[in-house]
Amino acid sequence: MAAYVLQDKPDRILDPAVGEGAFFRAIRRHAQRHNVNPLLFGRDIDAKVIAQAQATGLSPHDLRHVELRDFVLDPPTTLFPAIIANPPYIRHHRLPPSQKQRLREFVCQSTGLTIDARAGLHVYFLIRALQTLAPKGRLAFIVSADICEGVFAPALWQWICSRYRLDAVITFAPEAAPFPEVDTNALVLLIRNASPAQTFIWAKCKERNSSGLAALATNLSHKQYPGLQVYQRSLEEGLTTGLSRPPSNSISSRYTLSQFASVMRGIVTGDNDFFFMTSARAQELGIPDALLVTAVGRTRDIIGDQFTQQDLLRLENQNRPTRLLNVNGVPFDRLPKSVQKYLKSGEQKGLPSKTLIRTRNPWYRMETRKIPPILFAYLGRRSTRFIRNRAGAVPLTCLLCVYPHQASAEFLASLWAVVSDPETIQNLKKVGKSYGGGAIKVEPRALERLPLPDHLVHSTGLAQYLAPQQAEFDFNRHAPWSCAILPGDDGCIVQG
């Protein structure tokens, strides 16, 4: 990253999230070898971290231009020819609502974009840094891959790539992860404040401390370097496939899961320990079966891709909960005394004031789901999969519900044959978010975009359930041709 931003020998360089000064040290090392001596500027909001930077070898002279100020909401007034950073990875739910609102207002006012509220702080750092980059300047950021995979990503990257030149995206195989102890899939972005190009370099680092990384960042060539897989990709293909994902040379599928099913997350109870219990516990409390729903609460409670009544018995024998309290529609005073007593015990524990529960009226009202014929385990390294739900259970939030558009057994059998096929499972990486160690996470709307292989949709008979669509005529394929358009009783007649 230092090699990239120092190529043009800038006189100043900015790290907007200095932290312990890792980039300052890298810049000093690289600058000495290449006869460059830029002034170091930085921002951070934690004085203790800056003190740690001195303890790691940086002098007060090195840090003299570092300010304790918020980079995004209180930015520098001058532009910089080089910017390098590992911005703070703070998920959206950890941002105070007031700060999140100010961040979104900043983006809307300065770019016209409406960033989804689920964007993390690193997204706003990148936008502000690009706006702080001088013409022809270079920016190197190492960030979480979700910056290219979140629901906000398409609009964000269309904005970036229409105004700046994406030189390279560097990704990492699990064995080469730069932060191996963190469950985050990192990538490096190399961007210039120059006219957009139609292609960019995409690389995967296959081994730790690869000697090819600095050479790639310096040359920006798609030749092969030690320890790297390097591709030159079209910007259009990269934005369509996803910048964090490998290049896709396959023909786009005509079918997605949304044409055959809808997806919904599982039930959020607000307090599993209270609402989710074993049958033995329910009997002990005196809760009748009529006020209980069969449920499954953990992905690892399901072995393989089938969930059956035998699995429910297995879980009960293992003292795993399978019964969800659901008293919806029954007035409190008509509930059995035993259930009233149990709900009052929940009030005494403070459950009505918990974040997810306090929005409900009454507080013990439970979310409901129809029993989904197919479940989906949406997060994992090896367990991400579709599951045939033969147990008649509703899932908690650990699983997604897949509801086929038609109820016939034949339709369900065809759909299951397609979604459970290994070729379809391989397509999950095209729509999921990537995490450390090769894990992926697939949200409900993303799962609906899952490509279904054309040949599977046809060979299983699933295609017959789609409404017929008007065929498109490929004029180029059938050229040369000529035609005359003649008036007719019912419109026009095309005579070829």
| Predicted local confidence at residue 370, as pLDDT | 97
User: And the tokens for 439?
Assistant: 């894990």
Q: Taking residues 139-149, what's their average pLDDT?
A: 92
- Model confidence over 116-129: pLDDT tens digits? 777 888 999 999 99
Mean of pLDDT over the chain = 88
The more confidently predicted of residues 248 and 271 is 271
The more confidently predicted of residues 265 and 382 is 265
Domains of the chain: 2-241 (3.40.50.150), 261-465 (no CATH)
Task: Determine the number of helices (DSSP H) and then strands (DSSP E) in the chain.
Answer: 16, 25
Does residue 86 register a pLDDT over 50? yes
Does residue 301 register a pLDDT over 50? yes
Give the alpha-carbon dihedral of 424, 426, 431, 436, to 10 degrees. 150
Does residue 399 register a pLDDT over 80? yes
| Predicted local confidence at residue 27, as pLDDT | 93
Does residue 474 register a pLDDT over 50? no
Which helix (H) or strand (E) covers residue 433, if one does? strand 433-434
Q: Taking residues 436-465, what's their average pLDDT?
A: 89
Q: What is the pTM of this model?
A: 0.73
CA gap 228, 350 in Å, rounded: 54
Other residues' Cβ atoms within 10 Å of the Cβ of residue 94: 10
Q: Which amino acid is at 386?
A: F
User: And the tokens for 188?
Assistant: 């490096």
Does residue 469 register a pLDDT over 90? no
- Model confidence over 347-387: pLDDT tens digits? 999 999 998 999 999 999 999 999 999 999 987 655 678 99
Does residue 152 register a pLDDT over 90? no
| Predicted local confidence at residue 477, as pLDDT | 40
Identify the top-confidence range among 108-117, 405-414, 473-482.
405-414
Q: Taking residues 15-30, what's their average pLDDT?
A: 92
- Model confidence over 90-115: pLDDT tens digits? 666 677 788 888 888 888 988 888 87
Is 397 in contact with 265 (CB distance < 8 Å)? yes
Q: Taking residues 476-482, what's their average pLDDT?
A: 42
Does residue 190 register a pLDDT over 50? yes
